[in-house]
Amino acid sequence: MIAVNDATFSDLVLNAPCPVLVYFWAPWCGLCRFVGPLLSQLQDNCGGRLQLVAINADANLRLASAYQLTSLPTLILFKSGRILHRLDQFQTREDLEKIHQQISPAQFL
């Protein structure tokens, strides 16, 4: 997972050649520590067609504000600089499965 910040966001997310799943997290967030490894598995399952990046919301307040984060973790899927999907409320592991189902290989073509 690549760490992204205010300075690298545009290049690594908005101008990326492939879809990018942005994982907003914070060091104090217990659920974030649970979700991180599951996201790595999700990226592996996408066979390299998806880039996963992590943004520490506490250290990047401009981005957290720009994307109006209300809870952590928050996942936002970008393609060609546009938001395709957003997940703000994590409850269970099944929430990640829903994202995996919505991220079909056809979306990446």
State phi, psi for 66 to the nearest 5 degrees. Answer: -60, -35
Cα 27–chain centre separation: 16
Give me the pLDDT at residue 109, please. Answer: 43
Give me the pLDDT at residue 33, please. Answer: 86
Model pLDDT for residues 73-92, shown as the tens digit of each residue: 999 999 999 998 888 877 66
CB under 8 Å to 80, separation ≥6 — which residues? none
Triad 58, 62, 64: Cα angle to 5°: 55
pTM, two decimal places: 0.84
Task: Round to whole Å and give the CA distance between 25 and 56.
Answer: 5
Task: Name the residue with higher pLDDT: 41 or 96.
Answer: 41
Pairing of strands 82-87, 51-56: unpaired
End-to-end CA distance of the chain: 22
Give me the pLDDT at residue 49, please. Answer: 80
| Catalytic residue list | 29, 32
The second-level CATH assignment, the architecture, of 2-108 is 3-Layer(aba) Sandwich (3.40)
State phi, psi for 21 to the nearest 5 degrees. Answer: -100, 115
